[in-house]
Chains A and B, each alone.
Chain A
Amino acid sequence: MKPLLAALRAVLVLTAVCGVLYPLAVTAVAQVPGLKDHANGSPVSVNGRGVGSELIGQSFSDADGRPLRRYFQSRPSAAGDGYDPTATSASNLGPEDIVDRDGEPSLLSTVCARSRAVGELEGVDGSRPYCTGSGVGAVLSVRPDRVTSVNEPCPAAPFVAEYRGVKVECATPGQDPRAGRIVPVRGAAPADPAVPADAVTASGSGLDPHISVAYAELQARRVAAARGVPVGAVRALIDEETTGRALGFMGEPVVNVLRLNIALDRAAPRRG
């Protein structure tokens, strides 16, 4: 009994020290000028109205989820319906998640679909290795006598006609796609696709406020066109909102999408 009593008292006193005094002391220090803004979430406001946090990414799409052409687009997000800070999450899908299941697209098909969509939006080639032209994973289920394209349910036309002399069929709904050896087909897509990696993958938090410089550059032409300003002006803004590696070697150079879009709105207000 004695150690239990001592333990109870110890838990209480250490809770007071570590669970009350410490966080309150740190909070007090954090409220000094210079830290205060950070401690309160780095809020960003436009014309005095809070529009979010510099650190929390946002979606720049319309009510139906279609990307707004006049804004730079953030990365895909797995947080709730996208950039929901109350449901932060990653996709958690694995590197070999390549077979669609019950209408749920696999990670590969998701990547392919995103790539195709970004390609269309930005007017570049959206093809990628292991993707079909229709924007799903190019994956075959191979049995000696029968080959199916597992991510292309009938009546779709399979992305290849033949595999090693056997005719490739579309996937019959309801059939177990694993009924053969699963073979992804790389296809003829260029090794260096036009759509950058961060544009087709979800971040860890689902709140990534940044995109790569390459993805920003890719979007510059479309945004400039939508706003009717020269591409050079947009590129200049990208440069301004680009954060290099800390101390030259930590992390990667990134562009803050919210700040870039706010800067855009300020520099080139939408006409009409």
Chain B
Amino acid sequence: MGATTAGILFVGSLILVLVAVHVPLGDHMHRTFTSRHHWTAERLIYRIVGVDPDAEQVWSGYARSVLAFSVVSVLALYGLQRLQGRLLLSLGYGGVDPDVAWNTAISFVTNTNWQAYSGESTMGHLVQMSGLAVQNFVSAAVGIAVAMAFVRGLARRRTGELGNFWVDLTRAVLRVLLPIAAIGAVALVAGGAIQNLADPHTVTTLTGAEQTITGGPVASQEAIKELGTNGGGFYNANSAHPFENPTSWTNWIEILLILLIPFSLPRTFGRMVGDRRQGVAIVAVMATLALLSVTLLNTAQLAHHGTVPESVTAATEGTESRFGVSNSATFAAATTLTSTGAVNSFHDSYTSLGGAVTLLNMMVGEVAPGGVGSGLYGMLILAIVTVFVAGLMVGRTPAYLGKRIGPREIKLASLYFLVTPMIVLVGTGIAMAFEGPRGSMLNTGPHGLSEVLYAFTSAANNNGSAFAGLTVATTFYDVALGLAMAFGRFLPIVLALALAGSLARQTPVPASAGTLPTHRPQFVGMVAGVTLILVALTFFPALALGPLAEGIH
């Protein structure tokens, strides 16, 4: 079998399994977030937290809870890193530098998992499993919670209430993330991922040299890292590391874990708004864009244009032999299409056009299918913008799922899709305007520009992957990217919740033959089109000077 055929089968098998699994998982999440029943363990948690699980919140209360939880999370994670030296299982590492600790705390709380540090030489086991991995769970749960609140805004009528954040958070962790992560972790161990609390130990190799073999609770962290679309690796090499991703089939499982929840949430959405076809339409937009991206990225990598790849005769620089070029490209597409940012190969060394696709994936705003939760609300807001323009063309005041898109709604939606590109462009512009930040580039010319553009795109979109040549362990990047991650995460969340609050208050307009149908292929194509055009128009100049300047000869 040729490499291309095998690569296609690899993608095809992932699609088949996702098609099969998204229905039960989506339904399970629907039950999870609409059930009135509390588990005993959950009641215990609510009692400890001190909240009434049956009291609902209006959008501003929900947003305050999200922000409070995130602020405390940042402080806790910052503190834990700073105090590392005095705690258990530190492996002898001292407290993390303030710059890096701040950046890392923001990074994990915002579900970005940008890594300004090298895991194996900075973080002990305690910080990894009780700090970083905890945020892997809860930052993902926050995303799911906000998505559920947003969907309630569309589904409910004449109410200000969007649900209870603490209930959504707890249920997302206990009923969705923990069970799947546990199963995933055991599967990864079966493939060879390590799971222990051992210190690093040194062996003498076959040739008499010394090699340090590391230990750690890797599999448990790896599973939630992919499932929660987090991406922060236990090791610097992330999922390229054989202890994180030991075989070609664990690679398949990791990609599946990445895509699992984001592709299932539209089903949950469809059930919650009482029209499964709406969920199918949303998942179809995501799948269309994702498939396009996977195809482009695989094509670019297998065609290996560019001086070095042509000299090498394959785009193997930065890829692992066991995965091969095609499966690496598929992983790269999955990780940048979602807000994961885990990598099993190094995007900085990708062909120019392949690298451009990973950049574009993030620029699309992490909606195809996007991060857990954030992908869904991002896509729904894009659908709202599409409905606004297209809805006018059928001669009615635009409405999505019966909710009218008036000045307030379009203001919030516009701000939502304005925020992230602004952070990317302004951040990149500032970094490129100054000598210091420019000095961090590993590569020169257009590729160096791409490294900086990639860094801000990744941070603002809460992806976390990198053109890793850029030296980001500097005060400028720690601070600037930290701000980009924080604003890129929480401004959209607040805007999305405000929009949900505004939608929830409305009485829906009943559908008629004159209403724009939002479940047909026509609408799917339109949302995909609007998304691509908006992104292309926003980033074309930057892309032209980066990957396009480099890649077109």
Co-complex (A, B): yes
A-side contacts of B445, CB under 8 Å: 96, 178
Interface residue from B129, B170, B192 paired with A55 (Cβ < 8 Å)? B192
Q: How far is the CB of B441 from chain A (nearest CB, A)?
A: 10
Interface centre among B45, B213, B344 (most CB of A within 10 A): B213
Of the 9-residue stretches B26-34, B234-242, B414-422, which lies at the interface with chain A?
B234-242
Q: How far is the CB of A239 from chain B (nearest CB, A)?
A: 17
B351 & A95 in contact (Cβ 8 Å cutoff):
yes
Residues in B193-249 with C-beta less than 8 Å from chain A = 193-198, 200, 203-207, 209, 211-215, 217, 219-221, 224, 235-237, 240-243, 246-249
A269 within 8 Å of B by Cβ?
Answer: no
Interface residue from A11, A99, A137, A192 paired with B73 (Cβ < 8 Å)? A11
* Also in contact, A245 and B207, with CB within 8 A (given A8-B72, A111-B311): no
A159 within 8 Å of B by Cβ?
Answer: no
B133 & A19 in contact (Cβ 8 Å cutoff):
yes
A112 within 8 Å of B by Cβ?
Answer: yes
Q: How would residues 203 to 243 of chain A score, 1 for a CB under 8 Å from any chain B CB and 0 otherwise? A: 11111111110000000000000000000000000000001
A88 & B236 in contact (Cβ 8 Å cutoff):
yes
B324 & A85 in contact (Cβ 8 Å cutoff):
no
B49 & A10 in contact (Cβ 8 Å cutoff):
yes
B-side contacts of A54, CB under 8 Å: 192
* Also in contact, A59 and B221, with CB within 8 A (given A30-B189, A249-B13): no
Complex CA distance for A94 and B550, rounded to whole angstroms: 10
Minimal Cβ-Cβ distance residue in B for A245: B6
A42 within 8 Å of B by Cβ?
Answer: yes
Q: How far is the CB of A84 from chain B (nearest CB, A)?
A: 8
Residues in B27-84 with C-beta less than 8 Å from chain A = 45, 48-51, 64-65, 68-69, 71-73, 76
Of the 9-residue stretches B177-185, B265-273, B275-283, B497-505, which lies at the interface with chain A?
B177-185
Provide the main secondary structure of the chain B interface: helix
A40 & B211 in contact (Cβ 8 Å cutoff):
no
B-side contacts of A166, CB under 8 Å: none
* Also in contact, A254 and B211, with CB within 8 A (given A26-B185, A26-B219): no
Q: How would residues 125 to 146 of chain A score, 1 for a CB under 8 Å from any chain B CB and 0 otherwise? A: 0001111000001000000000
Interface residue from A55, A58, A137 paired with B205 (Cβ < 8 Å)? A58
Q: How would residues 24 to 39 of chain A score, 1 for a CB under 8 Å from any chain B CB and 0 otherwise? A: 0111011000010011
A20 & B348 in contact (Cβ 8 Å cutoff):
no
B-side contacts of A251, CB under 8 Å: 247-249, 251, 322-324, 327
B-side contacts of A155, CB under 8 Å: none
* Also in contact, A75 and B129, with CB within 8 A (given A52-B213, A95-B309, A249-B9): no
Q: How far is the CB of A7 from chain B (nearest CB, A)?
A: 4
B468 & A96 in contact (Cβ 8 Å cutoff):
no
* Also in contact, A18 and B133, with CB within 8 A (given A23-B217, A85-B211): yes
A-side contacts of B129, CB under 8 Å: 19-20, 23
Complex CA distance for A5 and B468, rounded to whole angstroms: 38
Q: How would residues 86 to 101 of chain A score, 1 for a CB under 8 Å from any chain B CB and 0 otherwise? A: 1111111111111101
B-side contacts of A85, CB under 8 Å: 120, 200, 211-214
A261 within 8 Å of B by Cβ?
Answer: yes
A108 & B243 in contact (Cβ 8 Å cutoff):
no
A198 & B186 in contact (Cβ 8 Å cutoff):
no
B321 & A250 in contact (Cβ 8 Å cutoff):
no
B1 within 8 Å of A by Cβ?
Answer: yes
A-side contacts of B204, CB under 8 Å: 49, 51
Residues in A63-78 with C-beta less than 8 Å from chain B = 68, 71, 75
Minimal Cβ-Cβ distance residue in A for B305: A95
A39 & B219 in contact (Cβ 8 Å cutoff):
yes
Interface residue from B50, B186, B190 paired with A6 (Cβ < 8 Å)? B50
A130 & B211 in contact (Cβ 8 Å cutoff):
no
A-side contacts of B344, CB under 8 Å: 204
A71 & B207 in contact (Cβ 8 Å cutoff):
yes
A-side contacts of B321, CB under 8 Å: 75, 198, 203, 208, 210-212, 252, 254
Interface residue from A8, A25, A61, A96 paired with B550 (Cβ < 8 Å)? A96
Q: How would residues 423 to 454 of chain B score, 1 for a CB under 8 Å from any chain A CB and 0 otherwise? A: 00000000000000000001111110010000
Complex CA distance for A248 and B551, rounded to whole angstroms: 34
B169 & A10 in contact (Cβ 8 Å cutoff):
yes
Complex CA distance for A1 and B193, rounded to whole angstroms: 43
A27 & B220 in contact (Cβ 8 Å cutoff):
yes
A-side contacts of B181, CB under 8 Å: 22
B49 & A91 in contact (Cβ 8 Å cutoff):
no
B-side contacts of A129, CB under 8 Å: 310-311, 313
B349 within 8 Å of A by Cβ?
Answer: yes
A58 & B207 in contact (Cβ 8 Å cutoff):
yes
B339 within 8 Å of A by Cβ?
Answer: no
A-B contact pairs, 23 of them (CB 8 A): A3-B69, A6-B49, A18-B178, A23-B130, A29-B189, A40-B215, A41-B214, A53-B242, A56-B211, A60-B206, A87-B120, A92-B469, A93-B469, A96-B443, A108-B308, A112-B311, A130-B311, A198-B316, A203-B320, A204-B345, A205-B237, A206-B237, A249-B5
The 10 closest A-B pairs by CB, nearest first: A251-B248, A204-B240, A252-B324, A95-B306, A92-B469, A19-B130, A88-B237, A205-B237, A3-B68, A94-B447
List residues of chain A with CB under 8 Å of any chain B CB: 3-11, 13-15, 17-20, 22-23, 25-27, 29-30, 35, 38-43, 46, 49-62, 68, 71, 75, 79, 83-99, 101, 107-108, 111-112, 128-131, 137, 178, 184, 186, 191-193, 197-198, 200-212, 243, 245-252, 254, 258, 261-262, 265
